[in-house]
Amino acid sequence: MTKRMDKSTKETFNFQAEVAQVLNIVINSLYTDREIFVRELISNAADALEKFRHLTLTESDLSQKDRELKIDIMVDEKAKTFTITDNGIGMTKDELLENLGSIAHSGSADFLKRMAENLKSDVHLIGQFGVGFYSVFMVAKKVTVQTCSCHTDDPGYEWESTGDNSFTIQTKPDLSVGTKIILHLKDDAVEFAKPFTIRQSIKKFSSFVPIPIFLNGDRVNTIQAVWTRTRGEVKDEEYVEFYKYLSGGFDDPLDWMHFATDAPLSIHSLLYIPTENVEKYGFFKLESGVDLHCKKILIQKGAKDILPPYFRFIKGVVDSEDIPLNISRESMQDSLLLKKINRVLTGRLIKHFDTMSKNEPEKYLKFWKTFGPFIKEGIVSDQEQRDNIAKLLRFQTSKTKEDEMISLDEYVGRMPDNQKEIYFINGEDRSSILSGPYAEVFLDRDIELIFNFDPIDDFVMNHLGKYLDKSFISAESETIKLPEKSKIITDTSETTSSEKIDKKITKQLQTEIKKILGDKIADVRASERLVESPVILINPMSQITGAMQRIIRSVNKENIPTSHYIFEFNPHHHLIQKLSKMIDSHQTMFELVIEQLYDQAALAAGLPVEIKTHIDRIYKIIDKAVAET
Ligand code: ADP
Ligand code: MG
């Protein structure tokens, strides 16, 4: 810095070369994002006030200790000025020279490099590198800073610059402690002398600044930063009010989680669970609803990386002192710090839900019914948390009552000792599952069967693979290792017979059915599991259930061959027994019925069936039946 003496008491200084470089970029920057200077100035003022507040606690001989701390912004459309005044710590002459003349921060070189590379479009990052103040030159042709430090008995100083290579400093008597910054706006920036424009900017960036902000005399930021207060002190109404402000909606939150940590990271966070899932209509996908703050100053609205994508339904605020102001979207992504915060918050949320399920089961069920799909998404996408998220899953089963749901822990907890696997089946609803062939053997042997009503559920179980060392096995699967039936079968129902067709006939049936179904299937055999149904299709590729195939088909718009399925018939079933007697005598009818039974089994398995052929065949069968009576 070189110094020239004026005739008056005004001294002229050259900016440090790096500052001149920054100014050059700022002055010629693109016109988007110019309003960020409001945030930068408020943030500096708030810092100065916070420092003063801190001093009042530590320094006993501080002057004007008890004055009301505030930020005053005045805009004057006629004079084309924007003026911001704070009664914070102010600056001494040396501090003025140092702070508004050079760049002390080590990151500035990076900033300059980045600015140069990105052709000035990254000017909104300016605050990140400790040069936020210079953003004023995007809108001002001249800037005057009047400041008086609370530390000295100095009269105060006036700093002035037009943003070229130099600035002036002169003494300015009778200033009160604090800083006043006057922007003489460029002709193309007079909008920043309009109260409306500035009010919008303040609301956008600084609504929760913990110090009152006045604009031309009116208080602008009336909302208290709820999240930095102690949990016990905040009333429920205040939480709800703040949620409504944040979400811009009218609904009440279902629940919230308010917590603070100090080490290893400083985090204040208030996260809300809404009542509604707006994604359920399928019109759009939510974006992150969590705003990132640093010491109550907004860094980023809807910060993407602060929570994993499957928690995008959460609304709220995260405040961390460790985050640099104005961190950019790009540097956000690879910020180690954000990753750490993300991990802490994710763990906390999962735990919060788990606790809710234990302490407030009704509320949890509501949560599950509304946001269950997001939780399932978490299992598919978050390997690290998968096992913890699995605790949050809820299911209906063959043993739950209508509307009752259980967790995997409950399922495993009530498994009999000889049951080694967790069984599930996918279907439209309870009654269609219960009337289909797959549930039979489980009902018969009193083994609990999980009901999946969403095709995604099968993917979820597939991703989980195991829970507490027990594998998930689809009831369609060939490889179920069911515990042996303990009681002797004493079947008296009408549809089944305790008599089994003899071995020779079974063999013959097998061969004939194979001839008819050909390469539609991989094999035919007598079933060990069927009780009430005549036939069933078994899936040897248990990794891809029928429901999963349905999804794959709908996405790829192509048919997956089902030729790997095994066709099983129930040798106890009266229909099969009658059929076995028609092999030779009624060949055509036998064929028709077998094909029809195949279609029936395919439908139960959720596999596609050729409708026209299916219906034509039904008519043929009816026709023959009518002819014979
Ligand atoms: P940063 O805020 O990241 O330090 P800035 O360029 O915004 O970078 O500001 C530079 C420095 O100028 C601040 O660190 C502070 O010391 C000083 N400063 C700016 N505005 C004020 C103010 N209103 N009151 C006191 N000091 C200020
Ligand atoms: Mg700053």
Specify the CATH number for the domain of residue 614: 1.20.120.790
C-alpha 104 – ligand 2 centre gap (Å): 13
pLDDT of 72: 98
Same domain, 35 and 120: yes
Band of the pLDDT at 251, cuts 50, 70, 90? confident
Same domain, 31 and 138: yes
- Would you report the helix, strand and coil content of the chain in percent, each value rounded to 5? 40, 20, 40
**Average pLDDT, integer, range 312-334:** 74
Same domain, 261 and 350: yes
C-alpha 42 – ligand 1 centre gap (Å): 10
User: Does 85 fall in a domain?
Assistant: yes
User: Does 254 fall in a domain?
Assistant: yes
Are 536 and 525 within 8 A, CB to CB? no
**Average pLDDT, integer, range 554-567:** 78
pLDDT reading at 51 higher than 60: yes
Same domain, 529 and 481: no
Same domain, 188 and 234: no
User: Does 110 fall in a domain?
Assistant: yes
User: Does 547 fall in a domain?
Assistant: no
pLDDT reading at 133 higher than 50: yes
SS3 assignment, position 396: strand
pLDDT reading at 422 higher than 90: yes
Same domain, 423 and 517: no
179 against 502, higher pLDDT: 179
pLDDT reading at 46 higher than 60: yes
Residue that has been written with the tokens 């920036």 in this structure = 189
**Average pLDDT, integer, range 360-388:** 96
User: Does 165 fall in a domain?
Assistant: yes
User: Does 510 fall in a domain?
Assistant: yes
- Whole-number Å distance between alpha carbons of 353 and 430: 27
Q: Which two tokens stand for residue 515?
A: 């001839």
3 against 290, higher pLDDT: 290
Band of the pLDDT at 160, cuts 50, 70, 90? very high
Same domain, 213 and 238: no
Measuring CA to CA, how many Å separate 589 from each of 417, 513, 516, 577? Answer: 47, 13, 12, 15
Measuring CA to CA, how many Å separate 563 from each of 219, 288, 517, 524, 553? Answer: 73, 44, 10, 12, 15
Ligand 1, atom 17, residue with closest C-alpha: 99
Percent of the chain with pLDDT over 90: 53
> Last residue of some domain: 219, 250, 285?
219
Strand 566-569 to 450-452 pairing:
unpaired
Give the ligand with the smallest distance to the CA of 129.
Answer: 1
Domain that holds residue 231: 226-367
**Average pLDDT, integer, range 407-429:** 94
User: Does 554 fall in a domain?
Assistant: no
Ligand 1, atom 1, residue with closest C-alpha: 130
CATH of the domain at 122: 3.30.565.10
pLDDT of 191: 96
Percent of the chain with pLDDT over 70: 86
Same domain, 409 and 358: no
Same domain, 302 and 272: yes
Same domain, 113 and 244: no
Q: What is the CA radius of gyration of the chain?
A: 36
Atom in ligand 1 nearest the alpha carbon of residue 325: 3
Q: What is the mean pLDDT of the chain?
A: 86
User: Does 386 fall in a domain?
Assistant: no
Q: Which two tokens stand for residue 11?
A: 């001294």
> Last residue of some domain: 219, 239, 267?
219
C-alpha 159 – ligand 1 centre gap (Å): 13
Q: Which two tokens stand for residue 409?
A: 């822990």
Same domain, 186 and 271: no
Band of the pLDDT at 162, cuts 50, 70, 90? very high
Instruction: Indicate the helix (H) or strand (E) that contains 53.
Output: helix 36-58
pLDDT of 114: 64
* Weakest mean pLDDT among 91-95, 272-276, 435-439, 584-588: 584-588
Q: Which residues line ligand 1 (CB under 6 A)?
A: 40, 44-45, 48, 86, 88-91, 99-100, 127, 130-133, 179
Q: Which two tokens stand for residue 410?
A: 């409950």
> Last residue of some domain: 165, 198, 219?
219
* Weakest mean pLDDT among 83-97, 455-469, 552-566: 552-566
What is the tally of structural domains in the chain? 4
Please name every residue paired with 326 in a beta bridge, in sequence order, or none if there are none.
none
pLDDT reading at 125 higher than 80: no
pLDDT reading at 121 higher than 80: no
Same domain, 480 and 535: no
Measuring CA to CA, how many Å separate 227 from each of 210, 237, 266, 469? Answer: 11, 14, 13, 40
**Average pLDDT, integer, range 577-586:** 87
